[in-house]
Structure 1
Amino acid sequence: MPLIRDSAVVVRTHKLGEADRIIVLLTEGRGRIRAVAKGVRRTGSKFGSRLDPGSHVAVQLHEGRSELLIVTQAERIDTFSATRSDLDRLAAVAATLEVAEQLATDGGRDQPLYRKTVGVLRTIEQRPGPLVVPAFFLRLLQADGVGFELTRCVSCGEAAELVAIDPSVGGAQCRSCATGMALSADALAVLRAVSEGRVNDVLAAAPVAVGEVGRVAQVAMETHLERRLRVPGATGW
């Protein structure tokens, strides 16, 4: 049987039988795939913790008798040692993985999603902060064509003072049209910076309007996915 080699992020796992696990992978070359890691739950498994959620690995797989692939080898690309011992980082990783899995497609190559996911995992490891995951959500939404109107009122089109934001209508609103969440000037500035691609500037600066930006990012992502996230509140610690 032909071997498949790819780079992947483990986005979710669940038990199979007494000793195996089904591993859901976001791969660089094949999108979202599911594979069985045989014996991974046994003490002394050759895989160790390399196939835990949040791992970034080089994997080797082959086709089994079912539609599931079989993991035959997994080697770490990133260790993420600081993340594995920090609850705040782990919560941010959980939120990241949930959204990445939901946006991925089975067997559909999506290198931008894979690379953005790897990038945010590395950022959580190296320079964690409360705006890392909200910025990730907002950039993913923008890549999916769900960016916000942030320069004028999305409802009336006037370039008036913007005091609210409603993800369901696509952007910020003036006082007369406000139907969404209240929006401070600081939060609006952060949202504009992220939408313009200045994420590094946002992460390097002292965090402001963390709660507001986190709520906007979470509500916007839930609106886009049409489901509640399992890790609410992890978008801003």
Structure 2
Amino acid sequence: MPLYREQGVVLRTHKLGEADRIVTFLTRGRGLLRAVAKGVRRTSSKFGARLEPFMVADLQCFEGRTLDTVTQAETLGAYGPAISADYERYRAGSAMVETAERLAEGDPTPALYTLLVGALRTLAAAKIPAELVRDGYLLRAMSHAGWTPGFGDCVRCGAAGPHTAVAVQLGGVVCADCRPPGSPRLDAGAITLLQALLAGDWDTALAASERERGQAAGITAAYTQWHLERGLRSFSTPRL
């Protein structure tokens, strides 16, 4: 069918010509979708604001030979303005959508779409610190992709935890016998925080100290980038 409907999260946009944009979506049923949105950069555009990063939209598209064309967009989740208005939320959201784009290459993954929409909704609500929302999303997204980290028993030999040394290249915590040289040791509370983020236990996550959050964030970033096999631009964005 030349015309079809789909639900999608706007991951990023690129300018095309004087008035158009190429929009990259993570969709529920088609996975990654890159489509042209014509005229959206004009002030008279009826749906340009609905196709900004972090927005969730119900789309009507027309199939093309190389790129499809967005012919209609109705807002399902207006998360873009709230996320973009705060620098920390923007940085967190950028890391989330960049990771989603990397993980979505291949077959459609409805669970990844649902996870991203929920995380953006939580991020926009601003009731939970942005770095916790980001790290919780990243850990669960990696788990959906088949790389579930282990923060209980030793991921190498199975020795019962708790353990505080983490080897991202092995997939999680390791015992003293299995610990590779140079593997960092975390506070016990940071391991508890990583477990809470993976489980979506926000009450436990919110009780963590700043030091524990910092340690968990470092492990989450390293774990994500190790399995993606390349760095995330969003993590290297300088603080304003």
Asked if Structure 1 and Structure 2 have the same fold, meaning a TM-score greater than 0.5 normalized by the shorter chain, the answer is: yes
Give me the whole-angstrom Cα distance separating, in 2, the residues matched to 1:186 and 1:45.
50
Q: How does 1:59-70 map to 2 (within 5 A)?
A: 59-64=59-64, 66-70=65-69
Is the 1:5–1:59 Cα contact (8 Å) retained in structure 2?
A: yes
SS in 2 for 1:148: coil
1:132 aligns with 2:113: no
Relative to the length of structure 1, the TM-score reads 0.88
Change (3 A) 1:233 1:199: farther
Which residue pairs with 1:71 in the alignment?
A: 70
Q: Percent identity?
A: 41
- Higher mean C-alpha deviation, range 1-10 or range 203-212: 203-212
Which residue pairs with 1:82 in the alignment?
A: 82
Give me the whole-angstrom Cα distance separating, in 1, the residues matched to 2:14 and 2:28.
22
Runs (4 or more) in structure 1 with deviation over 6 Å come to none
Instruction: Compute the displacement of 1:86 (Å).
Output: 1.3
Which residue pairs with 2:213 in the alignment?
A: 210
1:9 aligns with 2:9: yes
Choose which of 199, 202, 218 in structure 2 pairs with 1:200: 202
Q: What amino acid sits opposite 1:142 in the alignment?
A: S
Q: What amino acid sits opposite 2:168 in the alignment?
A: P
Give me the whole-angstrom Cα distance separating, in 2, the residues matched to 1:173 and 1:148.
11
State the number of aligned residues. Answer: 231
SS in 2 for 1:45: coil
Relative to the length of structure 2, the TM-score reads 0.87
SS in 1 for 2:170: coil
Where structure 1 has 5 or more consecutive residues not aligned to the other structure, the ranges are none
Is the 2:193–2:213 Cα contact (8 Å) retained in structure 1?
A: no
Give me the whole-angstrom Cα distance separating, in 2, the residues matched to 1:69 and 1:162.
50
Is the 1:163–1:178 Cα contact (8 Å) retained in structure 2?
A: no
Which residue pairs with 1:220 in the alignment?
A: 223
Give me the whole-angstrom Cα distance separating, in 2, the residues matched to 1:54 and 1:198.
21
Change (3 A) 1:161 1:2: closer
Is the 1:132–1:203 Cα contact (8 Å) retained in structure 2?
A: no
Higher RCO, 1 vs 2 (CA within 8 Å, ≥6 residues apart): 1
Which residue pairs with 2:164 in the alignment?
A: 163
Aligned-residue Cα RMSD (Å) equals 2.1
Give me the whole-angstrom Cα distance separating, in 1, the residues matched to 2:209 and 2:57.
31
- Higher mean C-alpha deviation, range 159-168 or range 85-94: 159-168
SS in 1 for 2:48: coil
Where structure 2 has 5 or more consecutive residues not aligned to the other structure, the ranges are none
Give me the whole-angstrom Cα distance separating, in 1, the residues matched to 2:73 and 2:44.
15
Query: Which structure is higher in helix share?
Result: 2
Which residue pairs with 1:148 in the alignment?
A: 149
Which residue pairs with 2:113 in the alignment?
A: 114
